[in-house]
Chain A
Amino acid sequence: MSGVMLAAFRHDVHKFTGESHNNAREEFAGIRVNQSVPEGADGDAAALSRPQQKQEQTVPTHDDHHRLSLITGETAYDPQKCSHSTIEGEVSELITTDDPQIAHGRWLDSDVAAAFNESVYHPYTSLKYHTLLVGALLDNYRADNTFGNLRLVVDPADDTVSFRTVFSGDRFSLRIDVDDNGCSSPRLGSRPWRSWASTWNRLTAHPLDTDSNKYDMTLDANLRRIQSWSTALQYMEDYAEWRPDR
């Protein structure tokens, strides 16, 4: 059981190391990595965040795995601070635990995973939130929760549900689950597609103060313009750090 969930959190280590999917190493820091994820969870999570048919460079000036930020238009990668060995150290801390619940918590809090994208063709996507989405989908599928029954659920901050929480902020958490405690949370749809804005638009209990707080309104307005799930979740994290009013 725990092996399958651990595989989900270790399936994309080759993106940290800059290896292609086909030439990815089998071991990193003495553990098995880059294995395929069962139940189609990896492909479904990818479909939530980026186009699947065409693989084409969407930003001509950027073709590596360092993520571009929607806030700054630049990468968080600083060659002065982020040496190869520092990154290796942080990545091994992220993935080497044998406890999949601890691994989930580390991914939720990870900075290093947020510095990488999930595809060099789509540099604004986030490896951190892609991997958390893979984990949430896989855990649901293993409990026989089909995609068509999954919902986006808003939880209080620090209310983390193992594997199913995909975003943990200071003010609220977001979870992909079938059980929403009767909150009529929006469904993700019948199949995975880039449905972020469509789903966020249908939230009934809104976690932001969009009546009067200018920074919340601006964040919300931009969130309603984003299709990609991993890009949007990462934007919420980056925005919380950027905004000067909190």
Chain B
Amino acid sequence: MTQIQQVLWELQMDYIGHSYYVSGNAILHALGQHLDPETHTEISSSQGVFVPGQFGKFPAEHSQSGVRPYLGSGLPDVEAYDDLFLQRKAIHPWLLDTRARNALNTHDLRIHGGHPTLCHETIMGRREDQRKQQRTTKWYVHAYLHADDPAVLPLDEDVMEGLQFGGKRNYGYGEVKLKDTQMVDLNELDYSRLEGAETYLIELMTPFVVESEYPEASDHSVPWW
């Protein structure tokens, strides 16, 4: 039995940090404040992908179909292999063409202390005369947790509350609240589309470190700091 835990956090405050994703290390670091050291060392985290809390349409390869009002702000059931990757691509192919998807999928930016910060929500219709039609879209962070010892997962929900990602945490930046979480049993998934394919395209996602201030970093084959 191989189980992983899917987690979706909602950004409560703007975020200062890696602008492509929240690194798995940052997620682990945040969880470490709430876990005993034995449990903490068992856990691995994927990168946290930024997801706009928007309406969407399940892509053709997903086990479900149709339009859902809040596809980006919840965790749909995971029944097939493709379902694992629904919210994992930066371009978010499930966003609707009938909405301003390019604007909804790009981070609004503010500046704090000379740094660009990602806004925790996107507000449309900001002019004075549009107040009644204002639409707010919140941003979410989507990640997978894995533990070598199967007894460690799922992590309790209270452990995943009150976390902060990124920098300037003393100012409240990067605060998130838990929106949704569920366990996925990888052995129970439907792999028929994968098994029916003749060729595969494998995408390797890895934090690629080109330089570091950490001492003697070049001797480490896997950057863990």
- Contacting A224 at CB < 8 Å: which of B90, B111, B118, B211? B90
Asked whether any CB of chain B lies closer than 8 Å to the CB of A228, the reply is yes
- Bound complex: CA A142 to CA B118 (Å): 44
* Cβ contact within 8 Å between B107 and A61: no
**Residue-by-residue, is B61-99 near A (CB-CB < 8 Å gives 1, otherwise 0)?**
000000000000000000000000000001110000111
User: A68 contacts B103, CB within 8 Å?
Assistant: yes
Contacts of A226 in B (CB 8 A): 102, 105-106
- Report A163 CB to chain B, min CB distance, Å: 26
User: Could you say which residues of chain B place their CB within 8 Å of the CB of A60?
Assistant: 125, 133
Residues of B within 8 A of A122 (CB): 100
User: Contact: A124 with B100, CB < 8 Å?
Assistant: yes
A interface, size bucket: 35 or more
A contact patch SS:
loop
Question: C-beta contact mask, A163-197 vs B, less than 8 Å → 1, else 0?
Answer: 00000000000000000000000000000000001
| Contact A214 B116, beta carbon cutoff 8 Å | yes
Specify which of B90, B91, B130, B211 is in contact with A211 (CB 8 Å cutoff): B211
B130-145: contact bitstring with A at CB < 8 Å (1 yes, 0 no)? 1001000000000000
> Complex formed: what's the CA distance from A217 to B99 in Å?
26
Q: Is the CB of B103 within 8 A of A70?
A: yes
In-complex Cβ contact of A214 among B19, B91, B97, B126 (8 A): B19
Contact A197 to B123, CB < 8 A, known contacts A214-B115, A225-B106, A228-B102: no
B100 A123 Cβ-Cβ under 8 A: yes
Interface residues of A in 225-246 (CB under 8 A from B): 225-228, 231-232, 235, 242-245
Task: Give the contacts of A88-104 with B (CB-CB under 8 A).
Answer: none
Which among A51, A68, A220, A225 is the interface contact of B105 at CB below 8 angstroms?
A: A225
Contact of B114 among A124, A224, A244 (CB under 8 A): A244
In the complex, which range does the number of interface residues on chain B fall in?
A: 20 to 34
Interchain CB contact under 8 A, A227 and B101? yes
Given A61-B125, A211-B210, decide whether A222 and B133 contact each other with a Cβ distance below 8 A. no
* Residues from chain A with Cβ under 8 Å of B102 in the complex: 70, 124, 225-228, 231-232
A123 CB contacts on chain B under 8 angstroms: 100
- In the complex, the chain A residue whose C-beta lies closest to that of B127 is A74
* CB of B124 closer than 8 Å to a CB of A: yes
- Contacting residues, chain A, for B98 (C-beta < 8 A): 54, 56, 58
Considering only residues 197-217 of chain A, those with a C-beta below 8 Å from chain B are 197-198, 211-212, 214-215, 217
B108 part of interface (Cβ distance < 8 Å): yes
A227 to B19, CA, bound (A): 18
A143 at the interface (CB under 8 A from B): no
User: Complex formed: what's the CA distance from A216 to B152 in Å?
Assistant: 39
Known: A61-B133, A122-B100. A225 touches B91 (CB 8 A): yes
> Beta-carbon contacts of B9-27 to A below 8 Å, as 1s and 0s?
0000000001110000000
Q: Which residues of A are interface residues toward B (Cβ below 8 A)?
A: 51, 54, 56, 58-61, 68, 70-71, 73-74, 122-124, 197-198, 211-212, 214-215, 217-218, 220-222, 224-228, 231-232, 235, 242-245
5 contacts between A and B (CB under 8 A): A59-B100, A68-B100, A73-B122, A74-B127, A224-B91
6 further contact pairs, Cβ within 8 A, besides A124-B102, A226-B102: A54-B98, A58-B97, A58-B98, A70-B103, A73-B126, A224-B90
